[in-house]
């Protein structure tokens, strides 16, 4: 055992307070841990709380106060964070609250002394009567950490998934914690034995039937050309999109960052691994996007159909641009392709420096099939285009959908 | 129990021979230390030690030897003065023998014979103190119990038993570092006066500047006292005296409760200041060092504050910690607990529009323009109770800002808005900024225009 609390009360009858405090050779009782709590709700610090029953002698001028020695070895405890909190006194076999007598608590910590060169401290504790006191010793400990990870199992149609959220506790603190209460700040309270150098993964929550949207994204400026043979095409990235709210059967707590392993029901009682992604912190009501890889069955190429400068005055001009997208869906399901444009980049490439955020307006030749979303800002519009599944007839030709994004980037120079 | 031999010794030299320098064998008595008072000036690693001892003097000249081997005493600071018969006892001379480092010999002229109480005082380094604070909030996060602890460290090389301890909150001006001087043999002190002393002075000054700079950054620690610790003002300083005496062995430190305020009401405020706290709102707990908070008797010295919250079954959760800088009486105490996943801030730019272009008269190139930017700052609160939110946006340039929610100027280019966000609700802060660019920019400031 690396962590030790020693009650020196038994010595007090024969030893003066001062000698007890300074002597490092001792005979002492060892109150055992009645309970341990590992509080992991703060992402940076782990708080350990131990509850022990400590026998105390009545303080008197002759015998002095009780000396309680707390020591540890090979354990990275933040010495300055250690708290000693008397909680209750055992009376007639039951614990009762500590009262104030003449304005002073029945049990009170007078001071704490720190011996040189040792991982130890000594509390001087006043007790108005001889008693067994329930105390909590709390401290911050290093190398006892938490992390989160997820397992997502999508149904075969990719309309729902079951999301399992796990917390993993890694104990490299140098201390064993038997039957410790573990709490992450949300989710269930666990009682676990966590030995030294152990890693324990626990299920936080299982979210069933979580609706998902499978998205296909084309982003020319982020991903560039697909390959030399298709210089105007760009990779189509696939994501599952979940919304962390009650309506979408989530929304219990912010989803912490962590690795997500994604599987899909293969329809034959098995599962297929789709890939994994690192999710970011997803606050309530926000969307979690899980990257699945590149789609080979949706092809989109982007060409510039019109690039015309309109002089305004002096060196000021407007740049009129028509982007043409030719899209083919070879999947057997309908899909929505999200095209992400970056107007500032577009201005720089075909016009001039936008001098900050580009000002632009939509042109009347924009295809009606495009719907717009400006949630990432006006200069990064998302264009959504619905695509029908490929024809069931294997001899039929897949429709090439052509849509145009007509815009004028204004006031460039 | 292991007992350290006394390191600082005051010796009464029985042989009254003026030729001290030739003496290597002494026969002496050792008057014990009756009382010692330590006044610790933490800002400069300086402690004034005042010892009371009883000497038996004879009429005529008496030789007293004082030695301090293995300690960090500043030899230039050592003084002796009688506490009784002051008109009948004089220190005739003080000798620092060249052959005996860390020794000093006083010649005392006494007109009386018998026991006399004297006070020996000196500066030493290695005794320091430090403050830390613990706030334990109730589970509703409205009130907490706030305690401050003073911790005294003794690395001076000397045992101080049953010492009266006083701690000074404030910064004294010192020309030389005591520790630096203590490391120099006595016989070299005269050289220090001329050349090396200037080095120590510069070094002390430099460290003082660095320390002030660290304090400004919130990295500096100081402390204060308790155990019915008496607090009183002394000039511009504040002094904390530990009631009674404490024994602090060499190498040990001792922590005592110095400040206690129970059931203190505090406010929780979320502050969004990207330029100061980062991209997310920082959660602050704020209360005052005043009587209403059960405090206000004394300033709170620098120290680390740790904030906990009670949870079920007598347990605690750790909310965070922050270095607290010196808090004067009546001043606010603010602790930044960091980001909170249950309060979400997002900023959206709704539109951009340019107008009022200006052109160069000859080449007709654009020289200035105005840009109207529409923004919406969105704050979502998932906590079970309303929160106070403070938004500060810093904007550079010549800007006119139209706002809907009450907004003030924090400074020439920073706007500030304070509003509540309902429990499990959302508040939007929309505004329109018209930025004058190029030759249109006549100022560098944000001008506020309330939206009608």
Pick the residue from chain A with its C-alpha nearest to B249: A22
Residues of chain A with CATH 2.60.40: 298-412
End-to-end CA, chain A = 74
User: Model confidence over B345-382: pLDDT tens digits?
Assistant: 999 888 889 999 999 999 999 999 999 999 999 999 99
**Helix (H), strand (E), coil (C) string for B203-266:** HHHHHHHHHHHHHHCCCCCCCCCCCCCEEEEECCEEEEECCCCEEECCCCEEEEEEEEEEEEEC
| Residue B408 falls inside a structural domain | yes
pLDDT score of A282 = 96
Residues B155 and B57 in one domain: no
Q: What is the C-alpha to C-alpha distance for residues A363 and A379, in angstroms, rounded to an integer? A: 15
Percent of chain B residues past pLDDT 90, beyond the cut: 49
Minimal C-alpha gap between B251 and chain A (Å) = 5
- B342 vs A113, A254, A356: nearest CB: A254
Q: Are B177 and B203 in contact (CB under 8 A)?
A: yes
Q: Using the predicted structure, report yes or no on whether residue B318 has a pLDDT greater than 80.
A: yes
Chain A residues touching B254 at Cβ < 8 A: 111-114
Residues B79 and B153 in one domain: no
Pick the residue from chain B with its C-alpha nearest to A313: B364
pLDDT score of B306 = 96
Closest-CA residue to A110 (of A29, A17, A12): A17
Q: What is the C-alpha to C-alpha distance for residues A379 and B77, in angstroms, rounded to an integer? A: 71
pLDDT score of B68 = 86
Chain A residues touching B320 at Cβ < 8 A: 42, 44-45
Q: What is the C-alpha to C-alpha distance for residues B418 and B379, in angstroms, rounded to an integer? A: 12
pLDDT score of B171 = 61
**Helix (H), strand (E), coil (C) string for B117-159:** EEEEEEEECCEEEEEEEEEEECCCCCEEEEEEEEEEEECCCCC
Closest-CA residue to A387 (of A337, A339, A323): A337
Cβ of B349 within 8 Å of Cβ of A87? The answer is no
| Residue B401 falls inside a structural domain | yes
In A276-295, the residues whose Cβ lies within 8 Å of chain B are: 281, 283-286
pLDDT score of A298 = 96
| Residue B177 falls inside a structural domain | no
- A22 vs B1, B134, B373: nearest CB: B1
Sequence-separated contacts (24+) of B260-263 with Cβ below 8 Å: B260/B145, B260/B146, B260/B147, B260/B148, B260/B226, B260/B294, B261/B145, B261/B146, B261/B147, B261/B293, B261/B294, B261/B295, B262/B145, B262/B146, B262/B294, B263/B143, B263/B144, B263/B145, B263/B294
Interface check A413 vs B, CB under 8 A: yes
Angle subtended at Cα A385 by Cα A383 and Cα A389, rounded to the nearest 5 degrees: 155
DSSP state letter for B196: I
Q: What is the DSSP string of A269-334?
A: S-EEEEEEEEEPPB-TTPEEEEEEEEESSEEEEEEEEEEEEEEEETTEEEEEEEEEEEEEE-SSS-
Q: Are B433 and B399 in contact (CB under 8 A)?
A: yes
pLDDT score of A32 = 78
Q: What is the C-alpha to C-alpha distance for residues A318 and A408, in angstroms, rounded to an integer? A: 6
Whether the predicted interface score ipTM is above 0.95 = no
User: Model confidence over B8-61: pLDDT tens digits?
Assistant: 666 655 444 444 444 555 555 667 788 899 989 877 788 999 999 888 888 989
Interface check A100 vs B, CB under 8 A: no
Cβ of B306 within 8 Å of Cβ of A116? The answer is no
Q: What is the C-alpha to C-alpha distance for residues B406 and A305, in angstroms, rounded to an integer? A: 48
**If pLDDT is split at 50, 70 and 90, which confidence band does B5 have?**
very low
Q: Which of B242, B366, B426, B433 to mutate to test the interface with A (most CBs of A within 10 A)?
A: B366
Report how far apart, in Å, the C-alpha atoms of B295 and of each of A131, B23, B168, B227, B332 are. 33, 59, 19, 15, 11
- A33 or B190, which is more confident? A33
Q: What tokens were used for A131?
A: 């008693």
**If pLDDT is split at 50, 70 and 90, which confidence band does B160 have?**
confident
- A314 vs B318, B364, B382: nearest CB: B364
Cβ of B357 within 8 Å of Cβ of A316? The answer is yes
Non-local (6+) Cβ contacts of B372 within 8 A are B351, B352, B353, B354, B355, B432, B433, B434, B435
Residues B131 and B220 in one domain: yes
Residues B146 and B96 in one domain: no
Q: What is the C-alpha to C-alpha distance for residues A207 and B430, in angstroms, rounded to an integer? A: 36
Q: What tokens were used for A198?
A: 């152990």
pLDDT score of A3 = 59
pLDDT along chain A (413 residues), means of 10: 50 39 56 87 91 90 85 89 93 90 85 91 90 93 95 95 96 90 90 92 96 96 91 95 96 95 93 94 95 94 96 94 96 94 94 90 95 85 94 90 96 93
Q: Using the predicted structure, report yes or no on whether residue B228 has a pLDDT greater than 90.
A: no
| Residue B115 falls inside a structural domain | yes
Interface check A205 vs B, CB under 8 A: no
Q: Using the predicted structure, report yes or no on whether residue B339 has a pLDDT greater than 50.
A: yes
Minimal C-alpha gap between A261 and chain B (Å) = 23
Minimal C-alpha gap between B43 and chain A (Å) = 21
How does strand A382-387 pair with strand A335-340?
A: antiparallel
Q: Using the predicted structure, report yes or no on whether residue B435 has a pLDDT greater than 90.
A: yes
Q: Which of B153, B255, B433 to mutate to test the interface with A (most CBs of A within 10 A)?
A: B255
Q: Which of A23, A97, A111 to mutate to test the interface with B (most CBs of B within 10 A)?
A: A111
Half-sphere exposure of A396 (CA within 13 A, CB side): 10
pLDDT score of B99 = 79
Cβ of A357 within 8 Å of Cβ of B371? The answer is yes
Q: Are A269 and A198 in contact (CB under 8 A)?
A: no
Chain A residues touching B308 at Cβ < 8 A: 47, 83, 138
Cβ of B249 within 8 Å of Cβ of A22? The answer is yes
| Residue B99 falls inside a structural domain | yes
Positive or negative torsion for Cα B261, B264, B267, B268 = positive
Give the neighbor-by-neighbor strand order of the sheet with A83-91: A94-97, A83-91, A131-141, A46-56, A33-39, A177-183, A190-194
- A87 vs B311, B314, B371: nearest CB: B314
Q: Using the predicted structure, report yes or no on whether residue B330 has a pLDDT greater than 70.
A: yes
Residues B44 and B93 in one domain: yes
Interface check A372 vs B, CB under 8 A: no
In sequence order, what are the beta bridge partners of A200? A169
Cβ of A357 within 8 Å of Cβ of B256? The answer is no
Q: Which of A52, A116, A318 to mutate to test the interface with B (most CBs of B within 10 A)?
A: A116
Minimal C-alpha gap between B332 and chain A (Å) = 24
Residues B81 and B111 in one domain: yes
Closest-CA residue to A194 (of A37, A392, A400, A310): A37
Interface check A132 vs B, CB under 8 A: no
How does strand B267-272 pair with strand B103-110?
A: unpaired
Q: What does the buried/exposed string (b/e) look like for A165-188 if buried means 16 or more CB atoms within 10 Å of the residue's CB?
A: bbbebbbebbbbbeebbbbbbbbe
Residues B226 and B349 in one domain: no
How does strand B160-169 pair with strand B33-41?
A: parallel
Residues B445 and B384 in one domain: yes
Percent of chain B residues past pLDDT 70, beyond the cut: 78
Residues B109 and B138 in one domain: no
Cβ of B252 within 8 Å of Cβ of A113? The answer is yes
Q: Which of A95, A113, A344 to mutate to test the interface with B (most CBs of B within 10 A)?
A: A113
Q: What is the C-alpha to C-alpha distance for residues A411 and A157, in angstroms, rounded to an integer? A: 48
Chain B residues touching A83 at Cβ < 8 A: 134, 308, 316
Closest-CA residue to A337 (of A303, A371, A366): A371
Minimal C-alpha gap between A228 and chain B (Å) = 37
pLDDT score of A16 = 37
Q: What is the DSSP string of A193-262?
A: EE-TTEEEEEEEEEEEEEE-EEEEEE-HHHH--SBTTBTTB-PEEEEEEEE-SGGGT--SSPBPPEEEEE
A74: left (phi over 0), alpha (psi -120 to 50) or beta: left
Q: Please tell me the total count of domains within chain B.
A: 3
Q: What is the DSSP string of A383-405?
A: EEEEEPPPPSSTTSPPPEEEEEE
Q: What is the C-alpha to C-alpha distance for residues B30 and B9, in angstroms, rounded to an integer? A: 7
Over range B387-404, report the average pLDDT: 96
Q: Using the predicted structure, report yes or no on whether residue B209 has a pLDDT greater than 50.
A: no
Residues B363 and B387 in one domain: yes
pTM exceeds 0.90 for this model: no
Minimal C-alpha gap between A391 and chain B (Å) = 40
Q: What is the C-alpha to C-alpha distance for residues B166 and B340, in angstroms, rounded to an integer? A: 41
Cβ of B354 within 8 Å of Cβ of A359? The answer is yes
Q: Does A298-412 carry CATH code 2.60.40?
A: yes
Enclosing domain of residue B224: 127-161+188-258
Pick the residue from chain A with its C-alpha nearest to B356: A411
Interface check A138 vs B, CB under 8 A: yes
Cβ of A314 within 8 Å of Cβ of B366? The answer is yes
Cβ of B316 within 8 Å of Cβ of A49? The answer is yes
Interface check A191 vs B, CB under 8 A: no
Closest-CA residue to B40 (of B137, B206, B178, B139): B178
- B175 or B399, which is more confident? B399
Q: Using the predicted structure, report yes or no on whether residue B173 has a pLDDT greater than 70.
A: no
Non-local (6+) Cβ contacts of A246 within 8 A are none
pLDDT score of B191 = 56
In sequence order, what are the beta bridge partners of A205? A165
Identify the residue whose tokens are 């530990």: B242
Residues B201 and B230 in one domain: yes
| Residue B295 falls inside a structural domain | no
Q: Are B394 and B413 in contact (CB under 8 A)?
A: yes
Of the residues B230, B258, B286, the one at which a domain ends: B258
Cβ of B350 within 8 Å of Cβ of A378? The answer is yes
Of the residues B198, B225, B258, the one at which a domain ends: B258
pLDDT score of B188 = 57
């Amino acid at each position: 055992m690396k962590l030790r609390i020693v009650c020196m009360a038994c010595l007090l009858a024969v030893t003066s307070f001062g000698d007890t405090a300074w002597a490092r050779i001792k005979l002492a009782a060892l109150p055992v841990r009645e309970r341990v709590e590992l509080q992991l709700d703060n992402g940076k610090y782990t708080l350990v709380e131990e509850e022990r029953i400590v026998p105390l002698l009545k303080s008197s001028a002759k015998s002095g106060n009780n000396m309680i020695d707390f020591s540890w070895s090979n354990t990275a405890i933040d010495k300055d964070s250690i708290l000693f909190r008397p909680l209750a006194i055992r009376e007639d076999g039951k614990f009762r609250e500590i009262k104030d007598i003449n304005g002073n608590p029945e049990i009170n910590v007078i001071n704490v002394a720190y011996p040189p060169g040792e991982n130890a401290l000594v509390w001087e504790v006043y007790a108005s009567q001889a008693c067994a006191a329930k105390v909590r010793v709390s401290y911050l400990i290093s190398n006892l950490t938490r992390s989160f990870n997820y397992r997502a199992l999508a149904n075969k149609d990719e309309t729902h998934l079951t999301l399992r959220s796990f917390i993993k506790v890694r104990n490299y603190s140098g201390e064993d914690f038997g039957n410790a209460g573990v709490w992450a700040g949300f989710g269930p309270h666990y009682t676990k034995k966590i030995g030294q150098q152990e890693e324990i993964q626990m299920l936080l929550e299982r979210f069933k039937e979580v609706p998902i949207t499978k998205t296909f994204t084309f982003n020319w400026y982020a991903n560039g050309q697909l390959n030399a043979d298709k210089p105007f095409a760009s990779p189509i990235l696939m994501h599952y999109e979940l919304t962390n709210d009650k309506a979408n059967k989530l929304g219990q707590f912010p989803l912490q960052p962590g690795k997500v392993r994604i599987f899909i029901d293969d329809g034959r009682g098995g599962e297929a691994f789709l890939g994994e992604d690192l999710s970011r912190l997803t606050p309530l009501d926000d969307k979690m996007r899980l990257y699945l890889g590149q789609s080979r069955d949706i092809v989109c190429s982007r060409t510039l159909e019109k690039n015309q400068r309109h002089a305004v005055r002096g060196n000021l001009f407007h740049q009129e641009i028509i982007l043409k997208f030719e899209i083919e869906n070879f999947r057997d399901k309908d899909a929505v392709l999200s095209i992400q444009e970056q107007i500032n980049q577009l201005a720089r490439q075909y016009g001039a420096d936008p001098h900050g955020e580009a000002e632009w307006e939509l042109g009347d030749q924009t295809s009606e099939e495009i719907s717009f979303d400006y949630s990432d800002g006006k200069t990064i519009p998302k264009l959504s285009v619905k695509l029908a599944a490929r024809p069931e007839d294997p001899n039929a030709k897949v429709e090439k959908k052509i849509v145009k994004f007509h815009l004028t980037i204004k006031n460039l120079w | 129990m292991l007992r350290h031999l006394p390191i600082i010794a005051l010796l009464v030299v029985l042989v009254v021979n003026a030729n001290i320098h030739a003496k290597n064998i002494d026969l002496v008595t050792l008057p014990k230390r009756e009382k010692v008072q330590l006044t610790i000036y933490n800002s400069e690693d300086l402690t004034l030690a005042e010892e009371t001892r009883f000497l038996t003097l004879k009429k005529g000249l008496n030789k007293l030897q004082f030695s301090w081997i293995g300690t960090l005493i500043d030899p230039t600071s050592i003084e002796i003065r009688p506490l009784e018969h002051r008109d009948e006892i004089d220190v005739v001379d003080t000798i620092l023998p060249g052959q005996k480092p860390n020794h000093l010999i006083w010649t005392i002229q006494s007109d009386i014979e018998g026991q006399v109480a004297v006070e020996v005082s000196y500066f030493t380094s290695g005794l320091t103190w430090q403050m830390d604070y613990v706030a334990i909030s109730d589970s509703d996060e409205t009130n907490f119990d706030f305690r401050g602890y003073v911790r005294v460290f003794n690395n001076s090389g000397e045992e101080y038993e049953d010492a009266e301890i006083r701690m000074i909150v404030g910064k004294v001006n010192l020309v030389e570092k005591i520790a630096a001087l203590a490391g120099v043999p006595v016989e070299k002190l005269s050289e220090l006066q001329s050349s090396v002393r200037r080095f120590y002075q510069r070094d002390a000054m430099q460290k003082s500047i660095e320390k002030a700079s660290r304090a400004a950054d919130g990295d500096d620690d100081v402390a204060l006292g308790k155990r019915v610790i008496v607090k009183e003002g002394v000039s511009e300083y504040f002094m904390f005296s530990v009631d009674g005496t404490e024994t602090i062995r060499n190498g040990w430190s001792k922590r005592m409760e110095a400040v206690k305020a129970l059931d203190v009401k505090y406010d929780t405020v979320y502050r969004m200041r990207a330029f100061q706290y980062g991209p997310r709102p920082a959660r602050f707990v704020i209360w005052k060092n005043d009587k209403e908070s059960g405090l206000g008797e004394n300033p709170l010295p620098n120290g680390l504050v740790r904030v906990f919250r009670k949870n079920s079954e007598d347990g605690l959760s750790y909310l965070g910690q922050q270095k607290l800088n010196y808090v004067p009486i009546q001043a606010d105490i603010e602790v930044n607990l960091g980001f909170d996943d249950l309060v979400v801030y997002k900023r959206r730019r709704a539109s951009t529009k340019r107008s009022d272009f200006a052109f160069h008269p000859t080449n007709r190139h654009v020289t200035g323009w105005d840009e109207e930017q529409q923004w919406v700052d969105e704050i979502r609160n998932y906590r079970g109770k309303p929160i106070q939110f403070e938004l500060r946006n810093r904007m550079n340039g010549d800007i006119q800002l139209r706002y809907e929610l009450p907004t003030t100027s924090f400074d020439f280019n920073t706007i500030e808005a304070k509003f509540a966000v309902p429990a499990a609700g959302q508040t939007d802060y929309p505004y329109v900024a018209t930025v004058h660019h190029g030759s249109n920019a006549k100022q560098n400031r944000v001008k506020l225009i309330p939206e009608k």
